[in-house]
Chains A and B, each alone.
Chain A
Amino acid sequence: MISLLSRKTNTSDRSSTPARDACDAIIVGGGHNGLVCAAILAKSGLKVTVLEALERLGGMATGDEIGQGVRVSTCAHLLYAFDEKLVKNLKLHKYGLHFAQTRLSTIAPDGEGHAVHLHSDTWKTQADLQVFSQADAAAYPDFLAKMQTHGLALHALMDGGSSHGPLNDVAKIERFIELGQTLSGQDRSEFLRLLVSSAGDILDETFETELLKGALAFDSVLGLNTGPRSMNSMAYLLYRHGERAASKQGSMAIVAGTMHSLAQALGDAARAHGASVRTGARVVRIIVKKGKVCGVELEDGARVLAPLVMSNADPKSTYLKLVGIEHLDTEFCIGLKALRSEGVTAKMNLVLNGLPSFRGLTQEELTSRIVICPSVDFAERAFNPVKYKSFSHDPIYEIIFPSLHDAALSSDNRHVLSANVQYVPYAVEGGWPTRRTELVEQLVSALSYFAPDIRDRIISGHVLTPLEIEYEYGCVGGHWHHADFALDQLGFLRPTMGGGAWGAPIAGLYLCGAGGSVGGLRGRAGFLAAERALADLRASRKRGSRVK
């Protein structure tokens, strides 16, 4: 295939600097978005090099053995709504991506013998809800439909916002608003109200069962440094419902053979399209000359040159560490520094000598996603301590048992409990070295209320605090989405005014990770960044030919 870039530029670069390598595009970081981006760029004919610091690919989408021959997705454990078009276009199934389970349902126990079960089948859920409240059962399908409509509208706005750049002139604002035309007049004002509301308020006005409200509210805060009663927490709930609606396969899939298989499949897809994927190659600097990116420097001093650099690193690392403030404008730097990027979600993986029993849940129901969040207030109370650098005594959990879906992960009736836990602060009063044991003890004892025999069943386990997530995966603040998900950090405001997936202040440098456009394990950020970079390349090639 003919490269989109002129070969002439490359050869002149090569002759001027003693470089180890030169290519059309460099991907800094082989996280899932980086690999998606690499595959798409390579597919369109660019010579792509992926440089991953660690010895393995995938970033937070990874899996490993955690003892006793049990394997688990170490960090991210569910695909909430991976882009299906990507799976198809990149033929990920061919490269080994298989799902052990899709359309996982959600079950929320209250620890007192009751549980709300949210099936992927709305009518089944409605029937189950009758036990709790006739009114809630009646309201549930309408609520889901509303979430879906407004969620899709939010996605349209965000994708559009990413590709249009900052809304700094009237024409752009008009085009931006047109994106919202999928909604009827009445829906539009409701949409605006929902965006700025708290999930707690909207759920309170819709339902009366605390357990149901808690289960639904959980998704409005998962991964975020907000409580369900925080302003605009509803936006994230819409976002989550929107991504589920956009993903035809439904939502919440467990990858067979842990997330490692996803990373492998993405890596193989990128390689199959011609990308060179290097692990153990840590980028220490993004080389910028005269406002244009021209390559990267590795830890060993070697340079790889390319006129296009896609950074899968988080925005703060990319700009403040790798590029350097001397190449950046003042307000842009202030915006980046102000970016809220501290995660509050810990990951807990426990190896168990058999399945535990949860109060109010049958053994079969353990195949669901178990959400421990009995009410909106429970979640809000769990949120309070992190504001003051402390962790929750009664945290909220999202628990799955991957070994129930994928027998190959364990043997000898051993099972693995994989849990996302909130709220665990990035920086704790007294420091993590002294308080880590206390945290682990707290996480287990709080869980014991819902699953009384859990403590006896634990063989081994490990907990990743946000600080450790930062250390392991290199994202400043240890935040899943690189940066918090709030209206002031979304769309064209992500990561800050003037520097997202749609074009950074450095020509040729794009953010292809969650901090650049949209978060979540979806591949969407990598896709959007690749699309944008290709569009810019085509435009500049067109301009170039016109000049000639």
Chain B
Amino acid sequence: MTKVHPPQQQAIRPTPFHGAAAACSLTNAWRRWGDYTIADVYTTVDQEYDALRQHAGLMDLSPLRKIHVSGADAQSFLNRLLTRNVAALALRRSCNSVFCDDAGHVIGLAHLLRLNVDKYEILTEENHATWFWNSSAGYENLHLEVVTHEQGIVGLFGKRATDILAFAGISGAGDLDISAHDSFMVQRVKLRVMKTTSLGETGYFLSVDPKDALFIWELLMRAGQSHGAAPVGWRAQDICRIESGMLRAGTDFIGANDACHGNRPRTPYELGLADSVDLEKDHFVGLRALTMGVERPGRTCQVGLRVEGVEPITGGRILRQDQLIGVVTSSAWSPRLGYVVALATVTGGHEAPGQDVDVEYSTLVELEPQIWSLKAQIIEKPFYNNTL
């Protein structure tokens, strides 16, 4: 079978939902994500956060990279690529997984959907097409296709998400199990709905043909109006992400293929993703390294922090008895919890929750550098979970 080559860097483009999203934006604040721009803030971060946590939030997730993997070798290929047992993934189900390089270091995080007996879709936040293509060499019946631009994805998350879908006429979607997905028709428009949990909320990923994107956005906005739903921009999403303890590649860890320094790549264990690694299944890339014990002396751990004060302290140095033990990778003031929460990388041995540490953080105050030393405590993740 012929393989379509991964597309090269292209111009930054609007997502299929852009027209509708722009109409909702009062700030005209956009940011780049992959090949696209998405709304940074529509109205205010607080309003959007409240809508998501109390009612429902509508999010344009179209920039997610999508690759279709099909053919008789698709399962064997994915099983070798991902750390999860792909053979155990049932039809119309999905799972989270990580994928590693030969040395057992995490390259990225993926969400895998089984569309058919021998057809799968991989969703990733960053562009890993080259790695997938490199890994595909040698398979005879395998077809990889980047379909990022052929699909718009809108996320609908929050307590009222299920009600809104029913109200919008997408009946049956609410009955899906978590991680299940299926095709639905609404007013002769075909869409795929996947139920999942993310950002500490239960919700849905709706994948549509780009030409139907505006229609679906309008449909959901109208259905959501009476339920308090609102479009949620990237900034409010990121606060929810940190509260739910989700790691972001490139922010909380550096993918193995992007790291220049030899000690930067992380194993799934260091990132606390042991649950998604199945050491008992057939071979996958990195298995040998992981079973041989890549745990280096002074290995790191990913932990959660509760920090005093009200300001985010991303990039802050974590000290324990005046010794540097780590760095804050993501942080945000949590409106729900009423304190600053942070995701941090610390040296192994310092990960036990309940320990007190100091966070040293430097800012410019009228161009004068000022160093803040804040009290912090290592606490359990997730900080906040609305799905329980």
Instruction: Determine if A291 and B137 form an interchain contact, defined as CB atoms under 8 angstroms apart.
Output: no
Given the complex of chains A and B, what is the CA–CA distance between A325 and B134 in angstroms?
12
Instruction: Determine if A291 and B288 form an interchain contact, defined as CB atoms under 8 angstroms apart.
Output: yes
Set of chain B residues within 8 Å of A505, measured between Cβ atoms: 102, 288
Partner among A325, A326, A329, A337 whose Cβ is within 8 Å of the Cβ of B102? A329
Instruction: Determine if B101 and A291 form an interchain contact, defined as CB atoms under 8 angstroms apart.
Output: no
Residues B126-144 near A (CB distance < 8 A): 131, 134-135, 137-139
**Number of contacting residues on B, CB 8 A?**
19
B201 to nearest A CB, angstroms? Answer: 35
Given the complex of chains A and B, what is the CA–CA distance between A290 and B290 in angstroms?
13
Instruction: Determine if A327 and B101 form an interchain contact, defined as CB atoms under 8 angstroms apart.
Output: no
Instruction: Determine if B283 and A334 form an interchain contact, defined as CB atoms under 8 angstroms apart.
Output: no
In the assembled complex, A328 has its CB within 8 A of some CB on chain B: yes
Set of chain B residues within 8 Å of A362, measured between Cβ atoms: none
In the assembled complex, A332 has its CB within 8 A of some CB on chain B: yes
Instruction: Determine if B288 and A325 form an interchain contact, defined as CB atoms under 8 angstroms apart.
Output: no
Given the complex of chains A and B, what is the CA–CA distance between A331 and B105 in angstroms?
12
In the assembled complex, B287 has its CB within 8 A of some CB on chain A: yes
Given the complex of chains A and B, what is the CA–CA distance between A330 and B81 in angstroms?
8
Given the complex of chains A and B, what is the CA–CA distance between A327 and B281 in angstroms?
12
Instruction: Determine if B283 and A291 form an interchain contact, defined as CB atoms under 8 angstroms apart.
Output: yes
Binary B-proximity of A329-348 (CB < 8 A = 1, otherwise 0):
11111100100000000000
Partner among B81, B134, B282 whose Cβ is within 8 Å of the Cβ of A334? B134
Instruction: Determine if A326 and B282 form an interchain contact, defined as CB atoms under 8 angstroms apart.
Output: yes
Partner among A329, A333, A337 whose Cβ is within 8 Å of the Cβ of B286? A329
B3 to nearest A CB, angstroms? Answer: 15
Q: Could you say which of B139, B286, B288 has the most chain A C-beta atoms within 10 Å of its C-beta?
A: B288
In the assembled complex, B80 has its CB within 8 A of some CB on chain A: yes
Given the complex of chains A and B, what is the CA–CA distance between A327 and B282 in angstroms?
8
In the assembled complex, B285 has its CB within 8 A of some CB on chain A: yes
Set of chain B residues within 8 Å of A326, measured between Cβ atoms: 76, 79-80, 282-283
In the assembled complex, A274 has its CB within 8 A of some CB on chain B: no
Given the complex of chains A and B, what is the CA–CA distance between A325 and B102 in angstroms?
13
In the assembled complex, A96 has its CB within 8 A of some CB on chain B: no
Instruction: Determine if B102 and A330 form an interchain contact, defined as CB atoms under 8 angstroms apart.
Output: yes
Given the complex of chains A and B, what is the CA–CA distance between A10 and B174 in angstroms?
55
In the assembled complex, B321 has its CB within 8 A of some CB on chain A: no
Instruction: Determine if B287 and A291 form an interchain contact, defined as CB atoms under 8 angstroms apart.
Output: yes
In the assembled complex, B2 has its CB within 8 A of some CB on chain A: no
Partner among B76, B131, B135, B291 whose Cβ is within 8 Å of the Cβ of A291? B291
**Number of contacting residues on A, CB 8 A?**
17
- The residue on A at minimum CB distance from B79 is A326
A285 to nearest B CB, angstroms? Answer: 15
A508 to nearest B CB, angstroms? Answer: 12
Residues A465-491 near B (CB distance < 8 A): none
Instruction: Determine if B288 and A331 form an interchain contact, defined as CB atoms under 8 angstroms apart.
Output: no
Set of chain B residues within 8 Å of A334, measured between Cβ atoms: 134, 137
Partner among A320, A331, A337 whose Cβ is within 8 Å of the Cβ of B101? A331
Given the complex of chains A and B, what is the CA–CA distance between A329 and B102 in angstroms?
5
Given the complex of chains A and B, what is the CA–CA distance between A290 and B79 in angstroms?
13
- With A291-B288, A330-B102, A331-B102: A337-B283 Cβ-Cβ less than 8 Å: no
Instruction: Determine if B102 and A498 form an interchain contact, defined as CB atoms under 8 angstroms apart.
Output: yes
Residues B76-102 near A (CB distance < 8 A): 76, 79-81, 101-102
Q: Could you say which of A290, A325, A330, A334 has the most chain B C-beta atoms within 10 Å of its C-beta?
A: A330
- The residue on A at minimum CB distance from B99 is A330
Given the complex of chains A and B, what is the CA–CA distance between A288 and B288 in angstroms?
13
Given the complex of chains A and B, what is the CA–CA distance between A325 and B77 in angstroms?
9
Instruction: Determine if B135 and A330 form an interchain contact, defined as CB atoms under 8 angstroms apart.
Output: yes
Partner among A290, A325, A331 whose Cβ is within 8 Å of the Cβ of B138? A325
Q: Could you say which of A320, A326, A505 has the most chain B C-beta atoms within 10 Å of its C-beta?
A: A326
Given the complex of chains A and B, what is the CA–CA distance between A537 and B101 in angstroms?
28
Instruction: Determine if B283 and A328 form an interchain contact, defined as CB atoms under 8 angstroms apart.
Output: yes
Given the complex of chains A and B, what is the CA–CA distance between A330 and B80 in angstroms?
9
- With A291-B291, A325-B80, A498-B102: A330-B138 Cβ-Cβ less than 8 Å: no
Instruction: Determine if B134 and A329 form an interchain contact, defined as CB atoms under 8 angstroms apart.
Output: no
Instruction: Determine if A330 and B291 form an interchain contact, defined as CB atoms under 8 angstroms apart.
Output: no
Set of chain A residues within 8 Å of B131, measured between Cβ atoms: 330
Set of chain A residues within 8 Å of B101, measured between Cβ atoms: 329-331
Set of chain B residues within 8 Å of A330, measured between Cβ atoms: 81, 101-102, 131, 134-135, 285
Given the complex of chains A and B, what is the CA–CA distance between A337 and B134 in angstroms?
11
Residues A492-527 near B (CB distance < 8 A): 498, 505
Instruction: Determine if A320 and B291 form an interchain contact, defined as CB atoms under 8 angstroms apart.
Output: no
B105 to nearest A CB, angstroms? Answer: 11
Set of chain B residues within 8 Å of A291, measured between Cβ atoms: 283, 287-288, 291
Set of chain A residues within 8 Å of B282, measured between Cβ atoms: 326
- With A326-B80, A505-B288: A332-B137 Cβ-Cβ less than 8 Å: no
Set of chain B residues within 8 Å of A498, measured between Cβ atoms: 102
Instruction: Determine if B137 and A337 form an interchain contact, defined as CB atoms under 8 angstroms apart.
Output: yes
Given the complex of chains A and B, what is the CA–CA distance between A331 and B104 in angstroms?
12
- The residue on A at minimum CB distance from B282 is A326
Set of chain B residues within 8 Å of A288, measured between Cβ atoms: 283
Given the complex of chains A and B, what is the CA–CA distance between A330 and B102 in angstroms?
7
- With A291-B288, A325-B80: A333-B283 Cβ-Cβ less than 8 Å: no
A288 to nearest B CB, angstroms? Answer: 8
Given the complex of chains A and B, what is the CA–CA distance between A291 and B131 in angstroms?
22
Binary B-proximity of A312-329 (CB < 8 A = 1, otherwise 0):
000000001000011111
Instruction: Determine if B283 and A327 form an interchain contact, defined as CB atoms under 8 angstroms apart.
Output: yes
Set of chain B residues within 8 Å of A327, measured between Cβ atoms: 283
Given the complex of chains A and B, what is the CA–CA distance between A346 and B27 in angstroms?
73
A536 to nearest B CB, angstroms? Answer: 13
Q: Could you say which of A290, A325, A333 has the most chain B C-beta atoms within 10 Å of its C-beta?
A: A325
Nearest 6 Cβ contacts at the A-B interface: A329-B102, A325-B138, A330-B135, A331-B102, A329-B285, A327-B283
Can you sample 13 A-B contacts with CB below 8 Å?
A: A291-B287, A325-B138, A326-B76, A326-B79, A326-B283, A329-B101, A329-B102, A329-B288, A330-B81, A330-B102, A330-B135, A333-B137, A337-B138
CB within 8 Å of B: which residues of A? 288, 290-291, 320, 325-334, 337, 498, 505
Starting from the known contacts A325-B138, A337-B138, 11 additional A-B residue pairs (CB-CB under 8 Å) come to A288-B283, A325-B139, A326-B76, A326-B80, A326-B282, A329-B101, A329-B102, A329-B286, A329-B288, A330-B134, A330-B285
